[in-house]
Amino acid sequence: MKTLPTVQIPGINIRLARPTSSEIVNIAELEKEVWGNNAADADKILNRLNVFPDGSYVAEDGRTKKIVGYVCFQQVDDLRTQDSLNWSMITDNGWTTGSHRVKGGYLYGIDMSVHYSMNGKKLGAALVSQCFLYMIAERKAGIFTGSRIPMFKRYQKRCPKISAEEYMKLRRGEKFYDYELNLYHQTGLAPINVKALPNFFPDEDSLNYGVLIFDDNPFRNYPAAEIDSLIELLINQDFINLKKRAQK
Residue range 92-114: average pLDDT?
A: 97
Please give the distance of CA 105 from its chain centroid, rounded to a whole number.
Answer: 17
In a domain, 189, yes or no: yes
Inside any domain, residue 4: no
User: What's the domain range around 82?
Assistant: 14-246
**Among the listed ranges 47-56, 80-89, 166-175, 225-234, which one has the minimum average pLDDT value?**
80-89
Dist CA 6 CA 71 (whole Å): 13
Residue 49 falls inside a structural domain = yes
Percent of the chain with pLDDT over 70: 99
Domain count within the chain: 1
Classify residue 6: in a domain, yes or no. no
Q: What is the model's pLDDT at position 241?
A: 87
Residues in the chain: 248
Average pLDDT of 75-84? 90
Say which CATH number the domain at 135 has.
3.40.630.30
Residue 32 has pLDDT above 70, yes or no: yes
Q: Is residue 5 part of a domain?
A: no
Of 243, 235, 245, 164, the C-alpha closest to 197 is: 164
